[in-house]
Structure 1
Amino acid sequence: MKRLSARRTGVVVAACAAALATAVPSHAADAYSAFAFNLGSSEPTIYSFINSATTSLDMTMYELKDTTAVNDLIAREKAGVKVRVILDREETSTNASAYSALKAAGVGVVYSSSAFTYTHQKTITVNDDESLILTGNLTSEYYPTSRDYGVFDSDLNDVNAIEKVFAADYAHTSITPSDGDNLLWSPTTSESRLLSVINGATTTLDVEEEEFSDSAVVDAIANAAESGVTVRVVLEDPSDYSSEVQKVEDAGATVVGYSSSTGFYIHAKAIVADYGLSTQVVEAGSMNITSNSLEDNRELGIILSDSGVASVIENAFDSDYAGGTPA
């Protein structure tokens, strides 16, 4: 949750903007598709997805401070769509306006359960048949400067698993989440499944993260580098994780970072292993590489071999790596 104490604006570095000119449609023909946040003042790909709801829309969002998104949710409710929203209870100062507006419009909105330190998940599901799993919040003031990703998932086993967890979290009842076909959840499977992605890398491993302190994951990244895998890491501020950065660099990884002076913020949480090979795997989601995120929060991510999703994230990663400052 580092971003909360480091609100940043400014001009995006040109090298990072170049890779993001195109966003995919909200509904792709295949089961999976992805986009990078467009570094503009709004996120029309997300709005389009919200407005595609004709029967139901369920949203879990750590921060919701986007007037367009809130108004779209209200419009869907007024159009007869069953809209339900979970907002993080620790972010009431950020979420209060959205909560009040949604409540007044008759939208089913609740604050999250105290069973989790934070409900840091960022997911939207429409019509019980497609989910959008995000690394970023719907907080419009950060759109121009934040590197974030979204992955559309219409695999019904995944969507059903997401909806079952939503129903339990909305009612503040306990549940052991199913990973469906492609999911990873905190506080249950996220660490073990992240480790499986990292440990499975045979040639390359690209890691893009806002936070970087969980010892098991950092050790696995270092072990991959020591074993001969080409490891590249992009962080928001490497100086915040100097011992962890030193460990992976000593093992042979290269690390670059950004800072407030760049006007560009690495908020993403994504890993690409063995890009372009038959062993390719890509992970993206809400969880940071911290013990709190992996063990105490409600978080959701997705792991795929899909080449389209991998290429979107890898192309943006390459741009960010090229534009970063060596640690």
Structure 2
Amino acid sequence: MQNPNFSDESNQRSRQLLEKNAFEDISEKIIAVILFACALVSVLTTFGIVIIIFQETFGFFQEVSFAQFFLDTKWTPLFAERHFGVWPLMAGTFLTTAIAMAVAIPLGLSSAIYLSEYAQPKVAAILRPAVELLAGIPTVVYGYFALLFVTPLLRNIVPLEIFNALSAGLMMGVMITPTVGSISLDAIRAVPQSLREGAYALGITKLESIFRIVLPAALSGIIASIILGISRAVGETMTVLIAAGQQPKLTINFAESVETMTAYMAQISGGDSPRGSLNFKTLYAVGAVLFLLTLALNIVSHWIANRFKEKYE
């Protein structure tokens, strides 16, 4: 004969288990709703930014033609004789970015190779946070360091203007090095150790295995890190605003003062141009070009990462 006390205890446990499962289901649904709301806020914020940028840009092109914006070689919207050619701003942006990547790529890639292939684990555990610490320094500090230290030092070697593209580009390169180095390091460490051991078994030296086996296997991640570094350099503001100057010129001379797209946007956003004026709308027109440029770089980075990604089992 079944014990009635045992039956009551079993039913009570079953009810408690059902209540616990129901509570967990409700909790998971609430968490899912909260996470969805957070993701939705991010998406809506992005759409809002895009809509505002292109809405004001449309108003700008109601007063300025595409030919004036994309074919003119002068940018003087704040002068009496107005020109709206965006190429001088783009030239300054590309010039400082090229200098920055000429510094960041070899430094970042070399540091990634050393930390992954040569450094002892204890040394790597110390050096990697030290290198990444460079990314935490405020960009305004880089700008003033370039203006007050790097430029006077370089002027003893080469003739430079006080504000120049070279100093700004060099400091941007140091600033972007952690971005290139950190992502490249992760890509290199993702290469299976068996590939290295196979190369050593064939009599290949460590240096040869790095350049013939490891780096080609990690190529997609390395290229993605470089393109993300370029995106960071293109969107940098304070360093170029302080060290590169505010003289839009269609030039490739790194010794001259130039103005980048972000520096011009910072200049206009200072409040000197009335809201709704043509000068104010140039802020959004330049911002739209910068947005499309950065978007294109991110798309290329994503495509390269998927196209050349190596899969190992």
Using structure 2 for the length normalisation, give the TM-score.
0.22
Greater helix share, structure number: 2
**TM-score with structure 1 length normalisation?**
0.22
